[in-house]
């Protein structure tokens, strides 16, 4: 069964035009978990799986909970946490299974897909930061406190600026190489490789901050080492100086959350809780429960729509494959305009509040 899963992963790598390394890793993790469940229930062949087996899997702890383990360099477990699997993680898992079962049908290893039919419930608009929240974050980044709170403030500031103004996916950010920096012309831009290996020229309005990082902190972090990547880690594995790597998505996730929380503490001081609530609270069970790097991408898209920028231009800026993907930001904006038109104090309508 493991060999069939491996063949499926190879098949997806060959046929998946927009498949990323992270997607491949997700397929692998999900199917390893699923194989573990099948092993526990003594199912040794995929054609033995019935609808009731899938329903039992969807009710099981192995599907509804997750376990995350950290190991040291010797492979010993040093930390372990368990938690409830998020709705978005479950949806991705179901997508993996659906794709896998379709592959088994294609290979004539099963006759029909045992996965219950389900309709996507992802109708909520992407959660983004308001202009007020973005201003709070950038005020903090430009303050002296920021320089004191972080060892490499130019790097962290460049990360936030690039995520927001360029509207990048985290995978796009961490894979930027020095050869992708094209600042020696009248229109400075970064060459970004997006999904499906598609490239786009991304203007960077805050490129001077990025140049400051390149000329100063990046050289300090590198020391005598070399790296092709723009954003590099100051962590050396096993203290070997030449083993320097680009930053990871885990690092980005952790650092962005730290920056956002500290920015609101800095802004509100005596009203810290109010500031944290603006950015960390669960907003109507929407896609994101807490701040994430990807919210900056959603934020710039929403703000560009609110500024009246054409959807085609926003699509190109974000590297979307289809205008239909970009149009989801328009739906949220149209709804807000309708509310203002009906109840705004200068539009003739009256609110009951």
Maximum Cα–Cα distance across the chain: 70
Is the confidence at residue 353, as pLDDT, over 60? Answer: no
**Ranked by mean pLDDT, which of 196-210, 213-227, 280-294, 301-315 comes out on top?**
213-227
Give the percent of the chain with pLDDT over 90: 21
Confidence of residue 252 (pLDDT cuts 50, 70, 90): very high
Which segment of 122-136, 181-195, 284-298 scores lowest on mean pLDDT? 284-298
The secondary structure element, H or E, covering residue 67 is strand 65-71
Selected residue with higher pLDDT from 272 and 304? 304
DSSP one-letter code for 318? H
Please say whether the beta carbons of 290 and 160 come within 8 A: no
Interhelix angle 328-343/294-306, nearest 10 degrees: 50
Whole-number Å distance between alpha carbons of 342 and 344: 6
Is the confidence at residue 212, as pLDDT, over 60? Answer: yes
Looking at the chain, which residues constitute the CATH 1.10.443.10 domain(s)? 131-339
- Whole-number pLDDT of residue 68: 76
Average pLDDT over the chain, rounded to whole?
79
- Write out pLDDT tens, residues 222-242: 888 888 999 998 876 555 555
Please say whether the beta carbons of 313 and 340 come within 8 A: no
Please say whether the beta carbons of 305 and 329 come within 8 A: yes
Q: For the structural domain made of 2-106, what CATH number should be given?
A: 1.10.150
pTM of the model as a whole = 0.61
- Whole-number pLDDT of residue 121: 46
Confidence of residue 351 (pLDDT cuts 50, 70, 90): very low
Q: Which has the closest alpha carbon to 171: 252, 258, 115?
A: 252
The secondary structure element, H or E, covering residue 212 is helix 207-215
Q: Is 27 left (phi over 0), alpha (psi -120 to 50) or beta?
A: alpha
Confidence of residue 194 (pLDDT cuts 50, 70, 90): confident
Q: Does domain 131-339 have CATH number 1.10.443.10?
A: yes
Whole-number Å distance between alpha carbons of 3 and 302: 44
**Ranked by mean pLDDT, which of 62-71, 144-153, 219-228, 341-350 comes out on top?**
144-153
- Write out pLDDT tens, residues 8-38: 888 877 775 445 666 778 888 889 999 999 9
Is the confidence at residue 279, as pLDDT, over 60? Answer: no
- Whole-number pLDDT of residue 273: 45
- Whole-number pLDDT of residue 267: 79
Which segment of 151-155, 199-203, 269-273 scores lowest on mean pLDDT? 269-273
Confidence of residue 283 (pLDDT cuts 50, 70, 90): very low
Looking at the chain, which residues constitute the CATH 1.10.150 domain(s)? 2-106
DSSP one-letter code for 181? E
* Structure tokens belonging to residue 310: 């054409």
**3-state secondary structure (DSSP) of residue 1:** coil
User: How confident is the model over 153-176, as a mean pLDDT?
Assistant: 93
Selected residue with higher pLDDT from 336 and 318? 318
- Write out pLDDT tens, residues 287-322: 444 678 888 988 888 888 877 777 788 888 888 766
The secondary structure element, H or E, covering residue 200 is strand 199-203
- Write out pLDDT tens, residues 97-108: 988 898 899 889
What is the total residue count of the chain? 353
Is the confidence at residue 94, as pLDDT, over 90? Answer: no
């Amino acid at each position: 069964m493991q060999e069939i899963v491996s063949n499926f992963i190879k098949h997806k790598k060959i046929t998946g035009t927009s498949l990323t390394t992270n997607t491949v890793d997700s397929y692998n993790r999900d199917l390893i978990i699923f194989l573990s469940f099948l092993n526990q229930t003594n199912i040794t062949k995929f054609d033995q799986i019935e609808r009731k087996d899938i329903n039992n899997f969807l009710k099981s702890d192995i599907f509804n909970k997750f376990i995350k383990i950290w190991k040291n360099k010797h492979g010993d477990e040093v930390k372990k946490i368990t938690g409830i699997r998020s709705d978005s993680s479950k949806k991705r898992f179901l997508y993996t299974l659906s794709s896998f079962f379709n592959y088994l049908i294609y290979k004539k290893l099963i006759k029909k897909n045992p996965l219950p039919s389900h309709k996507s419930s992802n109708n909520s608009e992407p959660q983004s930061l308001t202009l007020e929240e973005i201003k709070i974050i950038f005020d903090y980044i430009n303050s002296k406190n920021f320089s004191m709170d972080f060892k490499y403030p130019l790097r962290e500031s460049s990360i936030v600026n690039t995520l927001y103004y360029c509207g990048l996916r985290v995978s796009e950010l961490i894979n930027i190489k020095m050869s992708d920096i094209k600042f020696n012309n009248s229109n400075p831009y970064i060459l970004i490789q997006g999904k499906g290996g598609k490239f786009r020229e991304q203007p960077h309005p805050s490129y001077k901050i990025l140049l400051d990082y390149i000329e100063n902190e990046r050289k300090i972090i590198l020391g005598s080492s070399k790296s092709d990547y723009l954003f590099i880690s100051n962590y050396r594995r096993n203290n070997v100086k030449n083993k320097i790597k680009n930053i990871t998505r885990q690092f980005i996730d952790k650092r962005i959350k730290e920056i956002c929380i500290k920015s609101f503490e800095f802004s509100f001081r005596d009203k810290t809780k109010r500031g944290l609530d603006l950015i960390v609270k669960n907003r109507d069970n929407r896609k994101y429960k807490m701040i994430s790097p990807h919210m900056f991408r959603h934020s710039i898209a929403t703000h560009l729509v609110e500024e009246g920028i054409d959807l085609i231009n926003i699509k190109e800026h974000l590297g979307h494959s289809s205008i239909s993907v970009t149009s989801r930001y328009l739906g949220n904006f149209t709804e807000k305009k309708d509310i203002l038109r009906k109840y705004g104090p200068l539009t003739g309508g009256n609110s009951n509040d």
